[in-house]
């Protein structure tokens, strides 16, 4: 993930938050083989942490016995093992291994439905597995259960391999449990190997995942086109992204979970997490998927993973540098190019999981397994609430657009990292310089070594973003019939469109740009664009064949973020269809304050 540094780190405030660490570090702070000292908090004694006293005013908690060094053992010899399990976590699965694993489950009669979300550039099909009791195999049947649909995805960055392994194991272990489990309360859709082409670019871990503790050979971060799939959710350039969006549109999951591995900082957490960071994921009292994940789901999940599984987790972040950790703990980017940020704009819950890259491979699989298992359990328990949040979000977004300009809350379309972080404790590991250039362990840069000495440091915690530009909800947008790139992208996102059948005159607002800034440096093969300007009242003629995008629909927030030229991650940002040329905006959309007159003869597109 990308470290985000605020424009200003001033005005730090201390406030109570469920996200702040309130217990001393548990055994999961480090790999089980590492000697450990936690200053002022706990001392590891064998497999147990003995804690006493207080640290920085934080009350100590009872010791916790460690049981989570490895994933659960497979005791039934008939069941398939993942490649990681078969090799004692010295190797990770190839694409063929994942396909064979799923096929083995099917041959054994596992109650699962298997399909493909799509095909990669190199013609690999991307498998998905559906598990539920009773088994469903269609979106209609899933919705008829009244249960939450949970979509879990691994391997979007193919060098980050534990999600792929943990997800295979979770599917197997759930479907072969005879006692009641989460499959009696949810519908699980699992996509264990999303970046299949990148997965097959196996190379030395030091090359493909330099800051990761094994396994020795892993795939690469981008797909076969060289695209980072976790920067593609808005522009949808990759076949994998388009396949993912098609699954979202068809199945409309209530919860989306994306499994990753951290980069960089040396901290004391087995796994870090984040909700959607985009402020548009929590607008108004009824469109609150992002806020519900941040303030309700994740604090409870953190507690359960600690007490039931023995792993300490925390809000995702990084230090500015290990030597100046006290300057703050900074989360990543808010823009919806990232999958979990995007998905909550659809009015749903999204959770990012980031296993700690400096833990050994087996332990990263184990912590990811534990985190996902507890998340599925929590969603199962709160099924009615999760479903009602989704329904309320759909109704709210539909109502805002249907009522026309000014009817709903302001929709954030730009944001910046908060300038008012809260102050809390973060666990920091001390590093030592070495006298030679030998690598002390995989993933640790030459010239330093880990000490296993940890301390709690009070610091500003930047875990959220604040809107810097909002827009008033409109009835909709009008697009020229020739704007094929915009139409194609909206359809990929599942946005509903209408078509003008009779040329007509309408009143609306046209966008006027005051300045256009094009990045001099390509990113993901494109030069990003930022436009300053505003909407000004204007009359226009809509030709027959023009498209209208009514915002009175569940995906109205997505459509707004994509179409508004000022958005920090929309059509203009990515210059989709070369809509910025010679310093000018081409084919600007028209914003509509109310439904076009009946004379336009709006019909289905």
Q: pLDDT, tens digit, for every residue of 176-190?
A: 999 999 999 999 999
Q: How confident is the model at residue 12 (pLDDT cuts 50, 70, 90)?
A: very low
Is a pLDDT exceeding 60 seen at residue 27?
A: no
Residue in 281, 379, 343 with CA at minimum distance from that of residue 153: 343
The two three-digit tokens of residue 527, written as one number:
């030069």
Least confident of 152-156, 384-388, 401-405, 597-601: 401-405
The two three-digit tokens of residue 383, written as one number:
């099924």
Q: What is the mean pLDDT of residues 241-249?
A: 98
Q: How many domains does the chain have?
A: 3
Is a pLDDT exceeding 70 seen at residue 33?
A: no
What confidence score (pLDDT) does residue 263 get?
Answer: 86
Are residues 372 and 278 in contact, defined by beta-carbon separation less than 8 angstroms? no
Could you tell me the CA-to-CA distances from 290 to 181, 340, 407 in Å, in that order? 26, 9, 22
Q: How confident is the model at residue 56 (pLDDT cuts 50, 70, 90)?
A: very low
Residues 508 and 544 occupy one common structural domain? yes
What distance lies between CA 584 and its chain's CA centroid? 33
Q: How far apart are CA 543 and CA 506, in angstroms?
A: 11
Whether residue 442 is contained in a domain is answered as yes
Whether residue 557 is contained in a domain is answered as yes
Q: What is the mean pLDDT of residues 589-598?
A: 94
Is a pLDDT exceeding 60 seen at residue 537?
A: yes
Whether residue 457 is contained in a domain is answered as no
Could you tell me the CA-to-CA distances from 522 to 225, 239, 525, 529 in Å, in that order? 15, 21, 6, 11
Could you tell me the CA-to-CA distances from 169 to 185, 372, 426 in Å, in that order? 19, 11, 31
**What is the pLDDT of the chain when averaged over all its residues?**
88
Are residues 101 and 152 in contact, defined by beta-carbon separation less than 8 angstroms? no
Q: What is the mean pLDDT of residues 505-517?
A: 94
Are residues 243 and 121 in contact, defined by beta-carbon separation less than 8 angstroms? no
Residues 512 and 569 occupy one common structural domain? yes
What confidence score (pLDDT) does residue 61 get?
Answer: 28
What confidence score (pLDDT) does residue 19 get?
Answer: 34
Is a pLDDT exceeding 70 seen at residue 339?
A: yes
Q: How confident is the model at residue 69 (pLDDT cuts 50, 70, 90)?
A: low
What confidence score (pLDDT) does residue 71 get?
Answer: 72
Q: How far apart are CA 500 and CA 592, in angstroms?
A: 14
Are residues 244 and 194 in contact, defined by beta-carbon separation less than 8 angstroms? yes
Residue in 72, 67, 70 with CA at minimum distance from that of residue 26: 67
Is a pLDDT exceeding 80 seen at residue 244?
A: yes
Q: How confident is the model at residue 304 (pLDDT cuts 50, 70, 90)?
A: very high
Whether residue 266 is contained in a domain is answered as yes
CATH (domain of 174): 3.40.630.10
Q: Which residue has the tokens 């081409």?
A: 586
Q: How confident is the model at residue 50 (pLDDT cuts 50, 70, 90)?
A: very low
Is a pLDDT exceeding 70 seen at residue 60?
A: no
Whether residue 592 is contained in a domain is answered as yes
Q: How confident is the model at residue 440 (pLDDT cuts 50, 70, 90)?
A: confident
Is a pLDDT exceeding 80 seen at residue 15?
A: no
Residues 52 and 159 occupy one common structural domain? no
- pLDDT more than 90, % of the chain: 80
Q: How confident is the model at residue 435 (pLDDT cuts 50, 70, 90)?
A: confident
Residues 340 and 223 occupy one common structural domain? yes
Residues 300 and 383 occupy one common structural domain? yes
Residues 421 and 530 occupy one common structural domain? no
Q: Would you call the peptide bond into 11 cis, given omega within 30 degrees of 0 as the criterion?
A: no
Q: C-alpha dihedral over 289, 294, 300, 303, to 10 degrees? A: 150
Are residues 467 and 414 in contact, defined by beta-carbon separation less than 8 angstroms? yes
Other C-beta atoms closer than 10 Å to the C-beta of 14 total: 12
Q: How far apart are CA 536 and CA 428, in angstroms?
A: 52
User: Per residue in 190-221, pLDDT tens?
Assistant: 999 999 999 999 999 999 999 999 999 999 99
Q: What is the mean pLDDT of residues 446-468?
A: 95
What confidence score (pLDDT) does residue 456 get?
Answer: 95
What confidence score (pLDDT) does residue 16 get?
Answer: 32
Whether residue 2 is contained in a domain is answered as no
What confidence score (pLDDT) does residue 4 get?
Answer: 53
Whether residue 65 is contained in a domain is answered as no
Residues 44 and 175 occupy one common structural domain? no
Residues 192 and 316 occupy one common structural domain? yes
Say what the pTM is. Answer: 0.90
Q: Which residue has the higher pLDDT, 587 or 307?
A: 307
What confidence score (pLDDT) does residue 44 get?
Answer: 26
- Domain hosting 31: range is 27-59
Residues 159 and 50 occupy one common structural domain? no
Q: Which residue has the higher pLDDT, 242 or 76?
A: 242
Q: How confident is the model at residue 334 (pLDDT cuts 50, 70, 90)?
A: very high
Is a pLDDT exceeding 70 seen at residue 24?
A: no
Q: How confident is the model at residue 105 (pLDDT cuts 50, 70, 90)?
A: very high
Is a pLDDT exceeding 60 seen at residue 35?
A: no
Q: How confident is the model at residue 1 (pLDDT cuts 50, 70, 90)?
A: low
Residues 381 and 248 occupy one common structural domain? yes
Q: How confident is the model at residue 437 (pLDDT cuts 50, 70, 90)?
A: confident
Cα–Cα–Cα angle for 292, 296, 300, nearest 5°?
145
Whether residue 70 is contained in a domain is answered as no
Residues 99 and 236 occupy one common structural domain? yes
Residues 263 and 219 occupy one common structural domain? yes
In sequence order, what DSSP letters do the residues of 365-410 get, joined into one string? HHHHHHHHHHHHHHHHHTHHHHHHHHHHHHHHHHHHHHT-TTSSPP
């Amino acid at each position: 993930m990308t470290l985000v540094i605020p424009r200003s780190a001033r005005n730090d405030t201390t406030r109570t938050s469920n996200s702040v660490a309130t217990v001393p570090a548990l055994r999961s702070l480090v790999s089980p083989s590492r000697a450990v000292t936690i200053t002022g908090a706990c001392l590891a004694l064998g497999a147990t942490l003995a804690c006493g006293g207080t640290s920085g005013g934080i009350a100590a908690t009872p010791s916790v016995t460690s049981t989570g060094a490895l994933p659960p053992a497979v005791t039934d010899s008939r069941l398939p093992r993942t490649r990681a399990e078969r090799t004692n976590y010295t190797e990770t699965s190839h694409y063929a291994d994942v396909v064979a694993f799923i096929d083995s489950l099917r041959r054994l009669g596992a109650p699962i439905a298997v399909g493909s979300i799509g095909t990669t550039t190199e013609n690999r099909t991307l498998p998905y597995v559906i598990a539920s009791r009773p088994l469903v195999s269609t979106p209609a049947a899933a919705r008829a259960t009244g249960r939450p649909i949970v979509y879990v995805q691994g391997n979007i960055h193919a060098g980050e391999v534990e999600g792929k392994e943990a997800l295979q194991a979770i599917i197997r272990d759930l479907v072969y449990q005879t006692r009641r489990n989460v499959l009696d309360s949810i519908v699980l859709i699992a996509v264990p190997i999303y970046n299949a082409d990148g997965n097959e670019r196996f190379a030395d871990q030091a090359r493909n995942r330099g800051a990761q503790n094994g396994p020795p050979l892993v795939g690469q971060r981008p797909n076969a086109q060289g695209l980072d799939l976790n920067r593609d959710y808005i522009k949808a350039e990759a076949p994998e992204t388009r396949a993912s969006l098609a699954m979202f549109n068809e199945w409309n999951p209530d919860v989306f979970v994306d499994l990753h591995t951290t980069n960089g900082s040396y901290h004391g957490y087995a796994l870090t997490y984040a909700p959607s960071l985009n402020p548009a994921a929590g607008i108004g009292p009824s469109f609150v998927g992002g806020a519900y994940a941040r303030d309700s789901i994740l604090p409870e999940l953190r507690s359960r993973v600690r007490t039931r599984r023995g792993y300490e987790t925390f809000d995702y972040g990084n230090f500015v540098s290990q030597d100046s950790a006290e300057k703050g703990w900074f989360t990543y980017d808010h823009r919806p190019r990232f999958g979990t940020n995007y998905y909550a704009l659809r009015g749903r819950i999204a959770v990012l999981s980031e296993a700690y890259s400096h833990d050994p491979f087996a332990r990263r699989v184990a912590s990811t397994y534990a985190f996902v298992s507890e998340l599925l359990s929590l969603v199962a328990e709160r099924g009615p609430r999760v479903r009602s949040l989704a329904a309320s979000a759909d109704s709210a977004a539909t109502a805002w657009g249907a009522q026309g300009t000014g009817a709903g809350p302001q929709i954030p379309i730009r944001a910046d990292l908060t300038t008012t972080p809260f102050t809390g404790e973060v666990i920091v590991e001390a590093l030592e310089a070495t006298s030679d250039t030998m690598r002390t362990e995989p993933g640790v840069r030459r010239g330093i070594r880990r000490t296993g000495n940890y301390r709690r440091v009070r610091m500003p915690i930047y875990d959220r973003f604040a809107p810097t530009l909002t827009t008033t909800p409109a009835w909709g947008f009008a697009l020229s019939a020739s704007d094929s790139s915009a139409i194609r992208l909206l359809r990929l996102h599942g946005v509903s469109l209408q078509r003008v059948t009779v040329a007509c005159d309408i009143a609306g607002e046209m966008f006027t740009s005051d300045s256009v800034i094009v990045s001099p440096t390509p990113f993901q093969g494109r030069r990003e664009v930022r436009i300053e300007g505003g909407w000004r009242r204007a009359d226009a003629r809509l030709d027959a064949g023009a498209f209208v995008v009514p915002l009175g629909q569940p995906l109205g927030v997505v459509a707004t973020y994509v179409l508004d030229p000022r958005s920090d991650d929309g059509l203009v940002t990515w210059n989709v269809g070369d809509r910025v040329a010679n310093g000018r905006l081409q084919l600007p959309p028209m914003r509509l304050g109310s439904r076009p007159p009946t004379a336009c003869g709006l019909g289905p597109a």
